[in-house]
Structure 1
Amino acid sequence: MSQQVFADAIGKSKSWVDKVERGVRTLDKYSVLNEIADALAIDAQLLLGRDTPRRDDRYNCIDQLEVNSIRASLERYERLGRYLGAAALEPVSVSELRKSVKHAWFAFEGANYPVLARTLIELLKSAPIAEEHAPEHEKAEAAGLLTQVYQIASSVLRKLGEAQLSWLAADRAIGAAQRCDDPLLIGIATMRVGNALRSLGRHQAALDLNVQVAHGLMTEIGSAARAQPEALSVYGILLLQGAMAASLSGDTATTRDLLNSAGRAASRVGPGVNHYWTSFGPMNVELHRAASAVELGDGRLALQIHERLDRAELEGLVPERRAHHYLDLARGCAQIGEFDKAGRALVAADRNAPSEIRCRPIAHEVISDVLRRTRGSAPLPVRQLADRMGIAALCRSSR
């Protein structure tokens, strides 16, 4: 991380970070150490120079109790508290809410699920109240921050296999987005709804929604040829998610057309940007080409796409996006019987964002499949990863 990115992640100034790194300031508050550890996705004890006991990786995932807490937060209507007899929550300021939402995005993009769970549970309670009590001139921004909270919740719930709950959060995101004055946030919220529909098996509905809103957005803002990079990023990510829905429907022609349209938009946005937390750009388009090839059953094409990627640009993406790609690559390699390559891709995914692999049901399915179908023993790094995930013993007992 650059000093500025790290400073943003912990809510400090770049100058503060610089002084700490040069030894001008000392870290004498344990609460600050915890914030730094969260931002770096490490145990706070490491910052104190102490060894940390090895923990079961399940403790680094969002567990069912935390999912239930998120569900309870989504089922609550904080604004109706006075009618429901609930204790009134103290509203947080919009500036405090902005900082917390940014922290949640950093945790999501780093696949730091323990931090994300704690942050989300709190934000789902506090963000609706913050919007309700925001001064008139800040209400639109508060609504924009609330829709981001629901969007993060929808995305992480979908990764955990909670499709219905993901759809509920995404639907709430649409409602909040309509109360702010940013049509691009409406577009991004729509993408979350489309992704939730995809997880529910509603592939055609997801395709239609993403494509219609993408083109409607361009009609409202202006043609794609005149749109700014921020608008092109939202437009492009909607097309990419539409392409994924089309590939799940087996529609090769529509998948190709949407990917090509997204590619033209990405060429104008350029590499190394992350407008509206989309990571949209030429590299992300290529990763979606590989992912859609896997959904279409063409693992060999996915492998070919991966082999031609610019490694420096790939490393420039956020950890969650990189790990997601390596998981897709592992699935593609398994499709064509390249189990050694599939295993290496899983290990690479784990190296980029451990929780993205160790906590997702689909990753458990892929590594189980690789272990079962590999002739002889799988490579040691794959077996070690499976052991940490509690999968190897299950596979051995099922033989």
Structure 2
Amino acid sequence: MDAQEFGRRVAYWRERRRMTQETFGRLMGQTRRWAQDLEGGQRQRDPRLSVIERAARVLQVRVDVLLSDAPVTKCLDAVELDMIRRTLQRHDVITGTVDEHGADPLPVAVLHGRLDHARTAFQAGHFASLGRLVPELLVDTNRAAARHQDEEQLASFRLLAFTLELIEGAAIKYGDTDLALVSGHRAVAAAERSEDPVNMASAARHLADAMTMHGHAHAAAEFAIAAAVRLEPHLRTRGPDGLSVLGMLYLKAAMAQATAAELDDTRAAAAARAVPELLDQADQHAEELGFDGNALWTAFGPTNARLYRVAAHVQLSAGADAVAVAHAIPDPGRAALPKERRAHLLTDLAHGLTQAERRTEAVEALLDAEREAKEEVQCRPRTRQLVEDLRLLGAGSADGRLRALATRCGLPA
């Protein structure tokens, strides 16, 4: 690798770690000007091994990450997930009190704009950006909930709950179920303090998802259904927002039951029987809504309900059924979904095709998903495992494209 490419990679990871050139230079035992020259490729023709190793330690990446000629895979990494975790563990965030800086809380409108930016990035499949956006947003929404009064305080609790839901969603993407469960519980607590049934239902559906992924599928289904029954009278008075979160509760309950159906216990058969009933209930709410919306970043509507039906079939190892449902989804409805949802559908389709022994088509579905949202394919442990499985099984005429995809996913050759 030449000095310029090495410098570009150092600059990329320094910015990802939110370091200034001055801080990086000091940690390297040098000056800001030295760091500037290093990033500009002006220090030396070939970077010395000692510089490479020290830079890797300072930036908390592997040496080969700085030396690779491959394009950088922009995944939320362990360091950034740990930063989010450490923020969740701060005393002020756990207790809901004011942090030591005592700064004035930001206006609710400003916080809402920042939350919308972060949630929009998530739905666009830009998960890595959350490592930069979420920790600060979490502290600021917590401070607002602690310092604002009356209606502004209730609105701040609502934003705090939505921020915690976003953390839960990102943690699920990256397979960190401990982080997902903690943030899901905190979201429910904040939502209850918001006194807003819509917020309560939204937080409940995220916690149900976290409980399912953490291995508590039976409890997750019971929790989601209990929340739906408790909140439905209030949600029905809240228009698209209310119907959307109500429908999502039934979709999460269906996925929990589909997961429970795969368990080796006495309740598995009953869980399997419950799945179609819960999906049908969600379909009814989608029909009541009457359109594919995105109220409260749910993407709820008739099309997203079909996406969950595909996912449920995959979870139940009914690949042929999943493929049939996926192929029946109208193109206009699918095109209107956020990129994250479209890519998620395509990865579920790839799972279904693999189960149905149609592995060449499964690779094509994964490539389509990658075009929609790279991080959904290249970064998610679940999808990377499917790529690895397909390499072991073989994909016929798609083997070459599969090997190239595996390289982009950072999988060993």
TM-score range, shorter chain: 0.7 to 0.9
Task: Give the alignment of 1:249-398 within 5 angstroms.
Answer: 249-250=260-261, 251-374=271-394, 376=396, 378-391=398-411, 394=412, 396=413
Shift in alpha-carbon separation, 1:258–1:55, aligned structure 2, 3 A: farther
Q: Distance in 2 between matches of 1:230 and 1:85?
A: 33
Q: Which residue of 1 aligns with 2:39?
A: none
Q: Show the counterpart of 1:61.
A: 75
CA-CA distance at 1:220 after TM superposition = 4.1
What SS does structure 2 have at the residue aligned with 1:297?
coil
User: Distance in 2 between the 1:138 and 1:227 partners?
Assistant: 20
How far, CA to CA, are the matches of 2:104 and 2:233 in structure 1?
41
Deviation digits for residues 195-225 of structure 1 (CA, Å, limit 9, x no counterpart): 1110111110011011111111114445xxx
Check if 1:183 corresponds to 2:194.
no
The separation in 1 between residues aligned to 2:248 and 2:321, in whole angstroms, is: 22
Q: Secondary structure at the match of 1:114?
A: helix
Q: Which residue of 1 aligns with 2:241?
A: 230
**Cα distance change of structure 1 residues 369 and 83 upon mapping to structure 2, 3 Å threshold:** closer
The whole-number CA distance in structure 2 between the counterparts of 1:301 and 1:198 is: 22
Equivalent residues of 2:360, 2:396 under 8 A apart: no
Aligned counterparts of 1:199 and 1:119: Cα–Cα separation in 2: 24
Correspondence for 1:10: none
Q: Give the Cα separation in 1 of the matches to 2:96 and 2:235.
A: 40
Distance 2:104 2:95 in 1: 12
Structure-2-length-normalised TM-score:
0.77
Q: Distance in 2 between matches of 1:257 and 1:95?
A: 40
* Residue 254 (structure 2) aligns with: 243
Measure the CA separation in 2 of the matches of 1:296 and 1:94.
43
Q: 1:157 aligns with which of 171, 191, 195?
A: 171
What is the identity, as a one-letter code, of the residue corresponding to 2:283? G
CA contact (8 A) 1:81 1:87 kept: no
CA contact 1:340–1:378 (8 Å) conserved in 2: yes
Instruction: Assess if the C-alpha contact under 8 Å between 2:235 and 2:243 holds in 1.
Output: no
Superposition deviation, residue 382 in structure 1 = 2.9
Once the two structures are superposed, residues 43-85 of structure 1 have per-residue CA deviations (whole angstroms, 9 ceiling, x without a partner) of: xxxxxxxxxxx97566511111101100000001326899999
Deviation at 1:341, TM superposition (A): 1.1
Q: Deviations over 1:370-398 (max 9, x none)?
A: 1211155634433322221122xx2x4xx
Q: Counterpart of 2:193 in 1: which secondary structure?
A: coil
Question: Is the 1:81–1:88 contact (alpha carbons within 8 Å) kept by the matching residues of 2?
Answer: no
- Cα distance change on mapping 1:375 and 1:293 into 2, 3 Å: closer
Deviation at 1:307, TM superposition (A): 1.3
Matches within 5 A, 1:67-216: 67-78=81-92, 86-216=100-230
Query: Counterparts of 1:96 and 1:227 in 2: how far apart (Å)?
Result: 24
The change in CA–CA distance for 1:87 and 1:59 in structure 2 (over 3 A counts) is farther
Note if contact 1:134-1:142 (Cα within 8 Å) is conserved in structure 2: yes
Q: Which amino acid aligns with 2:231?
A: L
CA shift digits 1:228-279 (9 cap, x unpaired): 3321111111001100111112233200001111111111112231112111
CA 373–121 in structure 1, closer or farther in 2 if over 3 Å, else same? same
Q: For residues 5-44 of structure 1, what are the structure 2 equivalents within 5 Å? A: none
Distance in 2 (CA, whole Å) between partners of 1:366 and 1:107 is 25
- Measure the CA separation in 2 of the matches of 1:80 and 1:296: 38
Contact 2:391 2:399 in 1 (8 A): no
Amino acid at match of 1:193: L
User: What residue identity is the alignment partner of 1:314?
Assistant: R
User: Retained in 1: the 8 A contact 2:96–2:142?
Assistant: no
Aligned residues: 339
Identity within the alignment, %: 29
Instruction: Give yes or no for contact 2:88–2:94 (8 Å, CA) kept in 1.
Output: no
Deviations 1:95-121 (A, max 9, x none): 211111011110110111232221102
Does the residue aligned with 1:178 lie in a helix, a strand or coil? Answer: helix
